[in-house]
Amino acid sequence: MLEAVATHIREHADAYCESTRVPGYLAGVYHDGDQTIVAYGVANVVTGAPDAPRHRIRFRSGTKVLTTTLVLQQVERGVVDLDERVMKYLPEFRLTTSSAADEIRVRRLLNHANGIDAELFFPVAKGRGALKVFVEGRSPRREPPVSRTPRGGFTRRAGGRRRPTWSRQ
């Protein structure tokens, strides 16, 4: 069954990419314990490297709305205060300048003005422990505040559950 789905995706997505000049896509389908991944086009328009099922896509912007929604649900429930310091919910949160970490408010995480350069974060630390590795590495603070890195850890700690659990409620 999944091979038929993959064929359908390939036929339609390939045609769409060709007609719209989208350089490539990566699609995954999971059903009943089985999965298939379909790739088309190029992963990098500069190098021309082909896209492949083994490639990963950094969601970054795609999770902003979901994470913000989940945090705001916790605000409605009275569990989180937007004007509270992040360290109330994440006491281990540290930056090179400790006073800077202490001043970052929940609201600043959600509006991407927390002062942590995400470009410093993603190439260095990966996986479930990435936030901890990043924080313990005490990456430098940049001005003006421009980033959005620790929201996932915040949602997990403030709500007492991992984000997928929140989204099921």
d(CA 153, CA 162): 8
Mean pLDDT over all residues of the chain?
A: 74
Q: pLDDT digit string (tens) for 80-134?
A: 999 999 889 988 877 777 787 788 888 888 876 655 555 554 445 566 666 566 5
Overall average pLDDT of the 25-53 stretch: 85
User: Would the pTM of this model clear 0.85, i.e. be above it?
Assistant: no
pLDDT at 40: 87
Report which of 6, 48, 52, 4 is spatially closest to residue 29, judged by C-alpha positions: 6
Main-chain phi, psi angles of 157, to 5 degrees: -75, -45
Phi, psi of 118 (to 5 degrees): -60, -30
Q: Please list the residues that pair with 23 across neighbouring strands.
A: none
Half-sphere exposure of 108 (CA within 13 A, CB side): 19
Quote the pLDDT of residue 82. 95
Tens of pLDDT, residue by residue over 71-81, are: 999 999 999 99
The DSSP code sequence of 110-122 is HTT-SSB-HHHHT
Average pLDDT over residues 23-44: 85
pLDDT in tens, 133-153: 656 664 444 443 434 445 556
> Could you tell me if 50 and 41 are in contact, meaning their C-beta atoms sit under 8 angstroms apart?
yes
